[in-house]
Structure 1
Amino acid sequence: MNQELAELAASGATALVSAMGTDAWNEAKRLMSGLIARAHGSRRRELAVALEWGSTATRGAVDPQAVDFWTEALFQLLDRDPALAQDVMALVTLRTAHRPDVAVQVNSATGSGEVFAVQHGDQHFASGPRSRDREERS
C-alpha cells in the first residue's frame, strides 16, 4: 500500500464527510462525482448511491464509518489511477477554504527520514534535530 496515497485518501474522505450537511456540500459532491465518474461498472453505481446518502447528513456530524468507507473508495480510485491525486487534493483544499479552522496536513518520510510538523504556530529548535544513531552523521 502506498502510504502517501493512503494519507491523501483519508484526507479527502475526511473533507468529503466534513462537508456533508454544510454549505460546502454541493461543491464537495461535484468534486467527488467527478472522481466517481472514473470508477468502473458496479463500483461507480455503488459510490454514486453512497454520495446521495451524504446529502442527508446532519450539519457538524462526522460519521467515522462514512470516513472509513470513503477513505477506502478514494484509495482504490487513487491506486488504480494515481493521476487522480490532483482531483482529491481539490477536495481536500475545499475543506480548508470553507472551514479555515481546520488544517489539512499530509506528511511522509521514507528510509530513515523523520518528519517534524506543526499545524498551527511555530516550531523552534535549540539546535538541529539529532540523529537517532550518531554514526549516521559520520
Structure 2
Amino acid sequence: MFEEVAALAMTGATTVVAAMATDGWSTARARMAGLFRRADDIQRAAIEGQLDGHAALVASSDNAEAVRQDLVPVWRLQLAALLRQHPDAAEELQLLVREIQERLPSAQQVWQQRQTNIARDHGQVFASLGGDVIVHHGPAQPPPAPSVVVGDEPEATE
C-alpha cells in the first residue's frame, strides 16, 4: 500500500508541477485546491499560497525546468501526506492527474516522466531521473594491513 501511495504522490507531483506556468495552470490549480478541501482552513490556505508562489517561481525563472525539478519533491511530500491522512483522496488525485495530463502542452508531456524503483529482499536501487545519484555507505573500513613475509628478507650489504 505504501508503494502505491508513494507512486501516486510522485505522479501527482510531477503532473502538477509540469502544469505550472502553462495555459492549463488555472484548471490544475483549481483541481489541486479542491483536492486539499479535506484539510483544515489554515492548511488549505497555505496550500493555495504554495501553488500560487511556486507557479510564479516557474513563470519568472530563466530555467523553468530546473525550478520544476526542485519543486517536485515538495509536492510529492504534500500529496503523500494528504493521501496518508485521507486515503479516499486517491481516486480524485488519479482523475486530476489524467485531466491535467490531457491539457499539458506537448513539451510538458515530455518533461513529465515517471520512474518507479523498488528494491526487495535487501536489494539496492541506484536510480536517477534528471538528477545525480550520490551513494553513501557506512563508515569506511581501514585498508587491510600489508602482509609481512617472514624468512625471505634480503640481506643487508655494507
Question: Could you say which TM-score interval applies, normalised by the shorter chain?
Answer: 0.5 to 0.7
Matching residue's letter, 1:25: W
TM-superposition CA deviations, 1:12-44 (whole Å, max 9, x none):
011110000001101100110101221125322
Q: Which residue of 1 aligns with 2:42?
A: 42
Contact 2:33 2:48 in 1 (8 A): yes
Give the share of equivalent positions with the same residue, in percent: 30
Greater mean alpha carbon deviation, residues 13-22 or residues 33-42: 33-42
TM superposition shift of 1:104: 6.7
CA distance in 1, matches of 2:30, 2:41: 20
Conserved in 2, the CA contact under 8 Å of 1:4 and 1:108? no
What's 1:64 paired with?
Answer: 69
Q: 1:78 to 1:24 in 2, by over 3 A?
A: same
Q: Give, in whole Å, the separation in 1 of the partners of 2:42 and 2:73.
A: 19
Q: 1:79 aligns with which of 77, 84, 93?
A: 84
Q: Provide Cα deviations, 1:86-113, integer angstroms capped at 9, x if missing partner.
A: 221122113431236447768799x99x
Unaligned runs of 5+ in 2: 122-158
**What TM-score, normalized by structure 1, do the two folds share?**
0.66
- The question of whether the paired residues in 1 share the 8 Å contact of 2:35 and 2:89 is answered with yes
SS at match of 1:82: coil
Quick one: which amino acid aligns to residue 27 of structure 2? E
Equivalent pairs counted in the alignment come to 111
**Letter of the aligned partner of 2:32 in structure 1?**
M
Q: Distance in 2 between matches of 1:93 and 1:104?
A: 14
Normalized against structure 2, the TM-score is what? 0.58
Tell me which moved more, 59-68 or 97-106: 97-106
1:67: how far off? 0.9
Q: Name stretches of at least 5 consecutive residues in structure 1 with no aligned partner.
A: 113-138
Distance 1:88 1:43 in 2: 18
Farther-moved stretch of structure 1 (60-69 vs 74-83): 60-69
1:6 aligned to 2:11? no
RMSD value over aligned CA atoms? Answer: 2.8
AA partner of residue 54 (structure 2): G
